[in-house]
Structure 1
Amino acid sequence: MKTFLENLLIGVDESSITQQEKEILRNMQMLNAVSKKKKLSFLNDGFVCGRLDISVNGTGYINAYDKRYKDDIIVENRDINSSKVGDIVLAKLTKGKKGRNKGKILLTLKPAFLTSVVYTKKFGKEILGVNVKSGLAYALKATQKSLKQMPLGTLLKINNQKDEIVEVLGNLDDVWVDEKISLAIYNKNSEFSDVCEKEAKSFGDSVDRSLYPNRIDLRELEFCTIDPVDAKDFDDAIYYDAKKCELYVAIADVSEYVNAYTAIDKEAKFRGFSIYFPHKAIPMLPRALSENICSLKPDVDRLAFVFKITIDKDFNATKEELFEAIIRSKKRFNYDEVDEILRTKSYADKKLLDMLLAVEELTLNLRKIRLKTGFDFRTKELRMSLDESGNLKSTRFEVSTPSHDLIEDCMLMANKAAAKRISKGIFRNHDAIDLKKVDFLLQDLLALGIDAKFDPDIAKMVEGIQKIADDMGMREEIDKLIIKAQKKAEYATLPKGHFGLGFGEYSHFTSPIRRYSDLILHRLLKANLADDKRLFNYLLLNIEETCVSLNELEREADKVAYDFMDRKFARWASERIGQKVQCYIDENSNITTAKLDDKIKGARIYIINYTADVLTRVLVEILEADIVSGKIIGRVVKKLNV
């Protein structure tokens, strides 16, 4: 969106923009904000586009996408025109006092959020709604009589386009309302429509082999799944024939059940990704599919889309066959079970034992080769546990173990093979480190005693930093800083390579139950296998726009999960005001934040009147905890010796 609006300053050709951008352009033309010269459309003088911020007193400020405006454009409260914080807007310029540019918002081009959440609060004699994200209070489209019948702190979901109350979520005092708040802010649904549910249940619970005579029957092979202990949807299963050096990666064949433009497909496209809370998952697909007929559960027939990869003695993939199949998983393993098997080299079922040990040897060699061009970033993922009352019980960091590495490298082989089969479609690209952030990275490293020099060969520079970090015993900490400096991986229609993995082309094939990107890729691959160019091109319609949407939806899914955890941390901290906890400095640029690193780990604490080098360990006193915003405020009591 930002690129499109910036390009309007130099001229945009309608043939090169998405359907969504064309619609925006038409709306701007109706307001006489855009003119057409020859084949190009330009933003007229006197108009500006940018992102809106709103201060506590209600005054708006537009951060213009036109570099000629170095200062924000001021918008009086009466001229905000129902736009919200973070919206991308079109404004008409007027001159303010002392020549300062002012504007009147004509149109919200793209809302930051389709919905928002407010809680009711009394101001004098009036009940107003206070936005959970921005903290701004405003009048609601409801009578004071009806609002006063609700207890203060009632949470309401608002349709931002109509400014109407669409749902009463609960009350701030209810611990279980946190999930509803996080979902409602980003307009996510926890339930599916009746149409979707009926459509999903229509496929039944079992696979009838006779209905699929053209599928390859792999039910005799010793497939197994390896997932977290609490997983309910099983996307992938593996089998390895060590004698023939053939690796089978079987993926749930979701596209057999979810056709394009059906009710389920539209909902899956709207959701984009499954969302994972500590206590439950909000699936992309109805549970009748995600946890039943699509899921590769043990001891039942299931449809699968399978890569059979033949590997030579040098661990190169010499042949990559893709076909539709029927499998029957023989065992549902969790990570801990496989780790124990790999450690002890023992298991009751000798066939499965031999296979797992052979796959381990294979993937260790594959990983060794991959890391010659890619990177091994040693990260820890925070896991939160809740008690029966819905409050924070404990936290832990999940680290990568041999079982994680084993299944990861099998999936990477399949994802890489999938990307090779198409030249246009949906790819997972990852650019190298953001050069703007390299200086910050090198400064942070210098503060930690690592005098790293900039090298235009970014991969070589990162490798050198990691070697020093290994020698200092600070690999995980340093990898955090390196990852922070990197650009995010994104979906795109053309392959541009994956810096972190060291792959020239890469895509997402292995999780169609929980990622819409993978479902799209499965459809494209099936059209490719059938040599159906007409269907392939049909599936590519609006693919650029879909990739942009998926990148946004992926970020939103992460934000929903983080928002929920932040609020749980804030509830925990609200009962511990005045207590002192061990932390380390996490951010020190515009603001100073610390990460909790005590019995409870991972909470972000905003630090007042203090700054220090990143990773400095400190003792922090908890001063405030705002459950509404999920923010914890603290002050550093003293610096801790490592």
Structure 2
Amino acid sequence: MGHKSKRTYDKVFEDRKNMLEDLILHNDLYVPMKTKELAILMQVPKEDRHELQAVLDSLVAEGRIGVSKKGKYSKPENTAIIGIYQKTSRGFGFVVVEGREDDIFIKESDDGGAFHMDKVMVAITAEKHGDKRCEGKIIKILEHQIKEVVGTYQKSKTFGFVVPDNKKICYDIFVPQEKSMGAVTGHKVVVELTSYGTLKKNPEGRVKEIIGHINDPGTDIMSIIKAYDLPMEFPESVMKSLNDIPDELSTKDYAGRVDLRDLQTVTIDGEDAKDLDDAITVSEENGIYRLGVHIADVSNYVKEYSPLDKEAYKRGTSVYLVDRVIPMLPHKLSNGICSLNQGCDRLALSCLMDIDEKGNVISHKICESVINVDRRMTYTNVKKILENEDEEILNEYKDFADMFRLMEKLALILRQRRFKRGSIDFDFPETKITLNDKGEPVEIKPYDRNTATRIIEDFMLIANETVAEDYFWQEIPFLYRSHENPDPEKIRRLGTFINNFGYSIKIGDEIHPKELQKLLGKIEGSDEENLIARLTLRSMKRASYTTECVGHFGLAAKYYCHFTSPIRRYPDLQIHRIIKENLHGGMSDKRSEHFAAILPEVAKQTSATERRADDAERDTDKLKMVQYMEKHIGETFEGVVSGMTAWGIYVELPNTIEGMISVASLRDGYYIYDENHYEMVNETTGRTFKLGQRLNVKVINCDKILRTIDFELAE
């Protein structure tokens, strides 16, 4: 090209881009081609090929052409990747691709008008390099996945619009007056999208349902239920099928089952629990503990492909919201014939384990059984027996006190064995929110995790492991609860960060959970304990359901499944069916093929519904926290710095409520965020805010729509 003025060079460069783009997009005969082949075709001399490469790089960066891993250029759709676009409230977004470790960053200007959760085709414009993220440009919208939106209706003279509750949907939705169902300003509504809009035009919709006014009790939670499309009412076909389910057992139900009704049996649950799906028996002889974990035989009543089964599969899990439970199964089952109620004969699937003094399961038996619960115990009363030695409670349950002490002893043995192999125990406090009759939060505090809750956790864990190992070695199609090893890059970043505090972890090709367990032990009681524990948790992957037995990293378990809660989790119900078929004379090739065919989809569906339930539960908790703190605006609290971003410092209060101090509200100078050290640093004075640091904060604002709490520093 020789020496040219900037303007001439730019024009030649742009002309070449247009010519190359035209060649690649409209001449299938010539592409895909590498740079050298294109240079020959276009008669570009060797000395100018670096400039041709610059033109090609520029076209790729703009998403106008695509390039394969082998360096061949073609139409962008030929090398594009398909994924789900997840927009953020700040405009940019990410495309999440199944099976791909890293998400693809999408600038707002490159989103192609895509809506949150759209299935899209994305062209990679910049590969991941070091800390720099992989970037892309959306070149085609394949499918709109969001059909309905929940939001607040705002009425105008001749039309209305809906402000979405989900702030990832960044546009208000225009609603013609005749499609408003008579909604007024302040109504919470479900709006069905009729148009997704353009870059210059808002989406449009019609009001499908008026949930209630924003100030009406219960409307807030119902809005979240509708937003997550959580099914409330059971279909008529399901309710009709309940007529065939008995209220009590009949004599034919006992046939072929192991009769365990003579064993001293208890359930231990929360005070308000009504779906009791696990019972415990325990005894000890010559140093061998005999532990029985007895699980409600739900599959005896919920038959494969019945209306009940189809609805349970669709729901995937019970959802525990702050003011209600949305059950997976109707109450006639979950609180009736399937609930292991005191004094009632009940059908169960039992895992009977002989455990030595080191916590090893030396033999076990999985069988169909009949049980009868002697006492329905609560965590509170068992705690009073074991921790407080409460005289009144001890006297009330004098016939069971020895059994509870034996349970405590065995649970400790199992816990120590698990700890020895590297199981990680994140002891973050869960939140307990108490509401009044109007649905208003009156108390928020950490949930009490005590000796009694730990006993049940320990017993359920060993039963889940025992069942998973048994069916792994039988080589029968099965559904496992898997927790994969963390991403090495995230662990490396964690290792770099904790070095700042004088801690270290051994990182090889893969990290062993024991390393993270040791780290949590070292930081216990330190100022930075909460911070490092949270970052350790964030560096790990999310557990999910899989058909492959890949183990559970967090529990340091080779074999793990969910066997213990078929009333509230579909995976447990599914594996109960497999176990029962296997117990009834072995699994035929035909049925084995059947389960092998359906289980991958069951794993995918139940992992998705679990995530939906978790998100809905978290959102309702956040909402009630905001409502609670509204009454405390202007008040000062002591908290701990729990997180940090370039725009703010997150502070957690002792009652588990978290809010944010905006960087803009720090009035003593300009602060910059040091990402490597998780610190906010004042450029002028050098003042720093660190994770784990104690601060006094004042509540200045609460936003029920965004579900955010704003703090400012209280000097």
Q: TM-score, normalised by structure 1?
A: 0.82
Per the TM alignment, residue 71 of structure 1 is displaced from its structure 2 partner at its CA by 5.8
Q: Which whole-Å CA distance do the structure 1 matches of 2:176 and 2:525 have between them?
A: 66
Quote the residue 1:290 is aligned against. Answer: 334
Quote the residue 1:195 is aligned against. Answer: 237
**Which of 452, 456, 463 is residue 504 of structure 2 equivalent to?**
452
**Which of 570, 573, 581 is residue 626 of structure 2 equivalent to?**
570
Per the TM alignment, residue 306 of structure 1 is displaced from its structure 2 partner at its CA by 0.5
Q: Which whole-Å CA distance do the structure 1 matches of 2:341 and 2:560 have between them?
A: 27
Change (3 A) 1:69 1:627: closer
Per the TM alignment, residue 512 of structure 1 is displaced from its structure 2 partner at its CA by 0.6
2:680 counterpart of 1:625: no
Quote the residue 2:252 is aligned against. Answer: 210
Deviates more, 1:59-68 or 1:457-466: 59-68
**Which of 115, 122, 125 is residue 84 of structure 1 equivalent to?**
115
Question: Kindly, what percent of the aligned residue pairs are identical?
Answer: 26
Quote the residue 1:431 is aligned against. Answer: 484
- 1:554-593 equivalences under 5 Å are 554-593=610-649
For residues 300-358 of structure 1, what are the alpha-carbon distances to aligned partners after superposition, in whole Å with 9 as ceiling and x for unaligned? 11111001112234432121111111111111111111111123284444442222222
Per the TM alignment, residue 277 of structure 1 is displaced from its structure 2 partner at its CA by 1.9
AA of the residue aligned to 1:603: E
Q: Which whole-Å CA distance do the structure 2 matches of 1:174 and 1:116 have between them?
A: 20
Change (3 A) 1:161 1:564: farther
Deviates more, 1:234-243 or 1:427-436: 427-436
User: Which of 1 and 2 has greater Rg?
Assistant: 2
Q: Is the Cα contact below 8 Å between 1:429 and 1:506 reproduced in 2?
A: yes
How large is the RMSD of aligned CA atoms in angstroms? Answer: 3.4
Q: Which whole-Å CA distance do the structure 2 matches of 1:236 and 1:173 have between them?
A: 40
Q: Which whole-Å CA distance do the structure 2 matches of 1:480 and 1:517 have between them?
A: 28
Quote the residue 1:419 is aligned against. Answer: 468
Quote the residue 1:309 is aligned against. Answer: 353
Q: Which whole-Å CA distance do the structure 2 matches of 1:416 and 1:68 have between them?
A: 33
For residues 391-418 of structure 1, what are the alpha-carbon distances to aligned partners after superposition, in whole Å with 9 as ceiling and x for unaligned? 1111111243111121111111210111
2:424 counterpart of 1:380: no
**Which of 441, 444, 459 is residue 392 of structure 1 equivalent to?**
441
Q: Which whole-Å CA distance do the structure 1 matches of 2:524 and 2:79 have between them?
A: 57
- 1:21-60 equivalences under 5 Å are 44-45=77-78, 49-52=82-85
Q: Is the Cα contact below 8 Å between 1:370 and 1:502 reproduced in 2?
A: yes
Q: Which whole-Å CA distance do the structure 1 matches of 2:521 and 2:81 have between them?
A: 49
Paired residue secondary structure (1:204): coil
Quote the residue 1:319 is aligned against. Answer: 363
Paired residue secondary structure (1:601): coil
Q: Is the Cα contact below 8 Å between 1:379 and 1:399 reproduced in 2?
A: no
Change (3 A) 1:53 1:470: closer
Quote the residue 1:366 is aligned against. Answer: 414
AA of the residue aligned to 2:401: L
2:538 counterpart of 1:490: no
AA of the residue aligned to 2:562: H
Q: TM-score, normalised by structure 2?
A: 0.74
AA of the residue aligned to 2:117: G
Paired residue secondary structure (1:45): helix
**Which of 117, 130, 138 is residue 150 of structure 2 equivalent to?**
117
Paired residue secondary structure (1:183): helix
For residues 206-237 of structure 1, what are the alpha-carbon distances to aligned partners after superposition, in whole Å with 9 as ceiling and x for unaligned? 12233331122212211100111111111100
Q: Which whole-Å CA distance do the structure 2 matches of 1:70 and 1:595 have between them?
A: 28
Q: Is the Cα contact below 8 Å between 2:275 and 2:567 reproduced in 1?
A: yes
Q: Which whole-Å CA distance do the structure 1 matches of 2:106 and 2:332 have between them?
A: 53
Q: Which whole-Å CA distance do the structure 1 matches of 2:328 and 2:79 have between them?
A: 44
Paired residue secondary structure (1:380): coil
Per the TM alignment, residue 520 of structure 1 is displaced from its structure 2 partner at its CA by 1.0
Deviates more, 1:363-372 or 1:600-609: 600-609
Paired residue secondary structure (2:597): coil
Change (3 A) 1:634 1:201: farther
Q: Which whole-Å CA distance do the structure 2 matches of 1:558 and 1:86 have between them?
A: 18
**Which of 219, 230, 243 is residue 261 of structure 2 equivalent to?**
219
Tell me which of the two structures has the higher relative contact order, counting C-alpha pairs closer than 8 angstroms and 6 or more residues apart: 1
Q: Which whole-Å CA distance do the structure 2 matches of 1:274 and 1:425 have between them?
A: 22
- 1:270-289 equivalences under 5 Å are 270-289=314-333
**Which of 550, 553, 563 is residue 606 of structure 2 equivalent to?**
550
Paired residue secondary structure (2:711): strand
Per the TM alignment, residue 280 of structure 1 is displaced from its structure 2 partner at its CA by 1.9
Paired residue secondary structure (1:238): strand
Quote the residue 2:494 is aligned against. Answer: 441
Q: Which whole-Å CA distance do the structure 2 matches of 1:54 and 1:319 have between them?
A: 52
For residues 119-147 of structure 1, what are the alpha-carbon distances to aligned partners after superposition, in whole Å with 9 as ceiling and x for unaligned? 1114675311111102634445x641563
Q: Which whole-Å CA distance do the structure 2 matches of 1:223 and 1:181 have between them?
A: 42
AA of the residue aligned to 2:597: L
Change (3 A) 1:103 1:214: closer
2:564 counterpart of 1:510: yes
Quote the residue 2:162 is aligned against. Answer: 129
Per the TM alignment, residue 604 of structure 1 is displaced from its structure 2 partner at its CA by 3.8
Quote the residue 2:674 is aligned against. Answer: none
Q: Is the Cα contact below 8 Å between 1:510 and 1:518 reproduced in 2?
A: yes
AA of the residue aligned to 2:359: F
Quote the residue 2:53 is aligned against. Answer: none
Change (3 A) 1:88 1:560: same
2:225 counterpart of 1:183: yes
Change (3 A) 1:544 1:604: farther
Change (3 A) 1:463 1:62: closer
For residues 80-132 of structure 1, what are the alpha-carbon distances to aligned partners after superposition, in whole Å with 9 as ceiling and x for unaligned? 4xx631323247999xxxxx9976644217x2x55421211146753111111
Q: Is the Cα contact below 8 Å between 1:235 and 1:512 reproduced in 2?
A: yes
Q: Which whole-Å CA distance do the structure 2 matches of 1:562 and 1:68 have between them?
A: 23
Q: Which whole-Å CA distance do the structure 2 matches of 1:453 and 1:328 have between them?
A: 49
Q: Which whole-Å CA distance do the structure 2 matches of 1:55 and 1:274 have between them?
A: 28
2:202 counterpart of 1:147: no
2:294 counterpart of 1:250: yes
AA of the residue aligned to 2:408: E
Change (3 A) 1:496 1:101: closer
AA of the residue aligned to 1:521: I
AA of the residue aligned to 2:170: L
Q: Which whole-Å CA distance do the structure 2 matches of 1:454 and 1:614 have between them?
A: 23
AA of the residue aligned to 1:587: G
Q: Which whole-Å CA distance do the structure 2 matches of 1:220 and 1:55 have between them?
A: 58
Structure 2 unaligned segments of length 5 or more: list them: 1-31, 33-65, 67-74, 126-134, 196-204, 667-679, 681-688
Quote the residue 2:28 is aligned against. Answer: none
Q: Is the Cα contact below 8 Å between 2:649 and 2:662 reproduced in 1?
A: yes
Structure 1 unaligned segments of length 5 or more: list them: 1-9, 11-32, 34-41, 95-99
Q: Which whole-Å CA distance do the structure 2 matches of 1:475 and 1:136 have between them?
A: 37
Quote the residue 2:142 is aligned against. Answer: 107
Quote the residue 2:270 is aligned against. Answer: 228
Change (3 A) 1:148 1:606: farther
AA of the residue aligned to 1:452: S
Per the TM alignment, residue 632 of structure 1 is displaced from its structure 2 partner at its CA by 2.2
For residues 53-76 of structure 1, what are the alpha-carbon distances to aligned partners after superposition, in whole Å with 9 as ceiling and x for unaligned? 66889x997748699997648468
Quote the residue 2:54 is aligned against. Answer: none
For residues 608-630 of structure 1, what are the alpha-carbon distances to aligned partners after superposition, in whole Å with 9 as ceiling and x for unaligned? 43633222222233333221221
Q: Is the Cα contact below 8 Å between 1:310 and 1:319 reproduced in 2?
A: yes
Change (3 A) 1:593 1:181: farther
Deviates more, 1:234-243 or 1:194-203: 194-203
Per the TM alignment, residue 517 of structure 1 is displaced from its structure 2 partner at its CA by 1.0
Paired residue secondary structure (2:365): strand
